[in-house]
Amino acid sequence: MTTSWQGRATIASSITDAAALALYWLAGFVLISGISTQNYPLPKNAWFCLCVTLCILGCVIMIAADVQKFSTPVHCHEEMSTLAGFLPDLYSSES
């Protein structure tokens, strides 16, 4: 079964998507605007530092995964085994 992502958006799906995004953005706004007060388990500066660090770490892991996915094609393993001379050819068609 294949899925086509090129279908037309309906009015109902557009309204649903807009409502979901509005709730998503509202939650962030409530957290950073001071409307609600939080009891952080750490001092505020340490808590914000932890949040920023986790966000940056997530971005780095995501980018590293994309780089790894696009920079290690199947033929790369064949070239490495040929160059090294002692590695078996993992992707050979001869079995």
Q: How confident is the model at residue 22 (pLDDT cuts 50, 70, 90)?
A: very high
Structure tokens at 57: 């770490």
Our CA angle for 10, 11, 16, nearest 5°, is 100
Structure tokens at 5: 């992502």
Looking at residue 74, its pLDDT comes to 57
Kindly list the domain boundaries of the chain, sorted by start residue. Answer: 10-39, 41-87
Rounded to two decimals, what is the model's pTM? 0.44
CA-only gyration radius of the chain, Å: 24
pLDDT at 21 over 80: yes
Highest mean pLDDT of the ranges 2-6, 61-65, 85-89: 61-65
Per-residue pLDDT averaged across 52-75, rounded? 86
Specify the higher pLDDT residue, 3 or 40: 40
